[in-house]
A and B are shown apart, each in its own frame.
Chain A
Amino acid sequence: MQWETVIGLEVHVQLATRSKIFSGASTAFGAEPNTQACAVDLGLPGVLPVLNENAVAMALRFGLAIDAEIPEVSVFERKNYFYPDLPKGYQTSQMAQPIVGRGTVEILLEDGSRKAIRIHHAHLEEDAGKSLHEDFIGMSGIDLNRAGTPLLEIVSEPDMRSAKEASAYLRAIHTLVTYLGISDGNMAEGSMRCDVNVSVRPKGQAAFGTRAEIKNVNSFRFVERAIAFEVERQIDLLEEGGKVVQETRLFDPEADETRSMRTKEEANDYRYFPCPDLLPLMLDSAYVDHQRSLLPELPSAKRERFIEQLGLSTYDADILASDRDTAEYFEQVMAVCDDPKLAANWVQGDLSARLNRAGLSIGESPVGAEQLGGLLKRIKDETINGKAAKQVFSDLWERRFENADQVIEIKGLKQVTDSGALAQVIDQVIEANPVQVTQYREATEEKRGKMLGFFVGQVMKASRGTANPQQVNALLKQKLDALC
């Protein structure tokens, strides 16, 4: 039987506020345990939560960026369950009236095509603390620094049909929230986590199969692997005549499998009800318009502009626009060198390869955008050739010089375009290699073309790489052919 996979994602994005969603405690990562957990976060009696304006603004900007419905009123509710890292006994969240309504996120598939994924809604909520189960005999240690950190939970419709689509969607969300500056998107530190709902159904069937929810998947790669495993498990189960149970499963990256998390527990009953400590949140149109005016150019608009105004290929535009830091770096380089294609090639080629090798992000690049732009300007105006450019780039990378012009000047890398000087070098090379010259004269036209490479190499070497290769080629051929 042919099976179809149906996937929906719930992505939790940690918002990049300085303080918590309902208290003035810091959200900085990596502090000593419980030093950033105040009375409100601890759920001590008599405290009152007050909503952080910036968390509201960030959620709203996300909603505007996905062209979502923005309701005038949204309501915070209590989601009740017991766990030691949730000292209040409930998580303050939103359910019936979330801050962001229906919207759409476009994803880019491997074949270059696009697909719209519908967003069901996005709501604000607080994060829980962390439980540490090792190192304490018979006890668990609780760190509540994370408790109360603002999260935006983005809930998609079950619109994805493969693991690849799911990871493309996660990437699109990552691109969007980092563009908007509402999250650092750092998955290793847990700034983006997702729960994946997976089911399978016979191809052509309209009704969905029973789904399993895979909790806390925290990398692009794990999303694909967790789904691949889960799909196979469900298909095997169904083909053997079994039934998929609706349950929560956990992905174990080491064993590369998902495991049932809650077997005997009854279906969750969170008994949501409006939080009496928080009043309904009203967003008037002036506030919404103000937030809209703060939106940066979004990835899709940037991509279009790169293609239409700068003449980049779809491939280049996709890569350069997919990350805000890369896009900004590229635009600065381009502004200096005034050659989009050259800038795109270098940012994606030499720079990106070097960054990858060094394990650095583009923001940490030792070669700044101004410096790279300055280098490319000298390629464009033919001050240096491609080979010298690589050397200049290397020197800038090692931070030996301040800018490309300095390297070119001090190292004497200026391309020799003076044909008189070049002719002299060529004459020397011809004189120094009589055997090769004889061979060249005796060769057929076809072979001569290949043999020319030897002479070009010698000339480039003699000029310490500063000769213009096209010019060398032309002059050499002229001189050698004159001898024949």
Chain B
Amino acid sequence: MAIEHADVLRAAHLARLGLDNADADRYVDDLTRILNMVDRLREVDTEGVAPLAHPLDATQPLRADEVTEPDRRDVYQRCAPAVSEGLYLVPRVVE
């Protein structure tokens, strides 16, 4: 599977990563090698093998439905750049 410069830029945009053209070229090479490896994996016969969602041979533990977290807003908001009336402030977003 071939990956192109434009694919890398699009993936970077979706992940909100800032890449310049030289970076992007490097990633085209890296990702191409990774995809080549995936192509080789595809040659393995996986007939009848269920897709693996997690490498650990374990299942999800569950917790009881209890409120255990106290209000620690003041602590959490100390590291926020801007807050007002208990809200976190961010650059204006409009749909």
Query: A-side interface residues toward B, CB under 8 Å?
Result: 17-19, 23-26, 32-39, 42, 44, 50-56, 75-76, 80, 82-84, 96-97, 131-133, 136, 138-144, 250, 261-262, 269, 271, 274, 276, 278-282
The yes or no answer to B48 lying at the interface (CB within 8 A) is no
Q: Are B66 and A34 in contact (CB under 8 A)?
A: no
List 7 A-B pairs, minimum CB-CB distance, nearest first: A24-B68, A141-B87, A54-B65, A53-B62, A33-B86, A38-B69, A282-B59
Beyond the given pairs A44-B76, A53-B63, A282-B60, 14 more chain A to chain B contacts, judged by CB atoms under 8 angstroms and listed by A's residue number, are: A23-B69, A24-B66, A35-B86, A50-B63, A54-B65, A56-B62, A75-B53, A84-B93, A133-B92, A138-B91, A141-B85, A262-B95, A279-B56, A279-B61
CA distance A250 to B95 in the complex (A): 10
Interface-central residue, B68, B88, B90, by most chain A CB under 10 Å: B88
Q: How large is the interface on B (under 10, 10 to 19, 20 to 34, 35 or more residues)?
A: 35 or more
CB within 8 Å for A269 and B14 given contacts A24-B68, A24-B69? yes
Q: Are B62 and A51 in contact (CB under 8 A)?
A: yes
Q: What are 28 A-B interface contacts by the 8 Å CB criterion? A: A17-B65, A18-B66, A19-B69, A23-B69, A24-B69, A26-B67, A26-B69, A34-B76, A50-B61, A51-B61, A51-B62, A52-B62, A53-B63, A54-B65, A55-B65, A84-B90, A136-B92, A138-B92, A139-B91, A140-B89, A140-B91, A141-B89, A142-B88, A142-B90, A143-B87, A144-B88, A274-B54, A280-B60
Across-interface contacts of B86 in A (CB, < 8 A) = 32-35, 143
CA distance A262 to B95 in the complex (A): 8
Chain B 60-87 residues near chain A, CB threshold 8 A: 60-69, 71-73, 76-77, 82, 84-87
The yes or no answer to B16 lying at the interface (CB within 8 A) is yes
Across-interface contacts of B64 in A (CB, < 8 A) = 53-54
Q: Are A52 and B65 in contact (CB under 8 A)?
A: yes
Residues 1-32 of chain B: 1 if any A CB is under 8 Å from the residue's CB, otherwise 0? 00000000000001110000000000000000
Query: B-side interface residues toward A, CB under 8 Å?
Result: 14-16, 51, 53-54, 56, 58-69, 71-73, 76-77, 82, 84-95
Q: How far is the CB of A132 from chain B (nearest CB, A)?
A: 7
CA distance A186 to B54 in the complex (A): 37
Across-interface contacts of B14 in A (CB, < 8 A) = 80, 269, 271
Across-interface contacts of A281 in B (CB, < 8 A) = 59-60
Across-interface contacts of B62 in A (CB, < 8 A) = 50-53, 56
Q: Which residue of B lies closest to A57 (CB)?
A: B65
CA distance A97 to B65 in the complex (A): 23
Across-interface contacts of A143 in B (CB, < 8 A) = 86-87
Q: Are B93 and A131 in contact (CB under 8 A)?
A: yes
CA distance A274 to B52 in the complex (A): 9
CA distance A212 to B56 in the complex (A): 41
Q: Which residue of A lies closest to B70 (CB)?
A: A38
CA distance A374 to B8 in the complex (A): 76
Across-interface contacts of B60 in A (CB, < 8 A) = 51, 76, 278-282
CA distance A38 to B52 in the complex (A): 31
CA distance A96 to B53 in the complex (A): 10
CA distance A279 to B60 in the complex (A): 5
Q: Which residue of A lies closest to B75 (CB)?
A: A39
Q: How far is the CB of B93 from chain A (nearest CB, A)?
A: 5
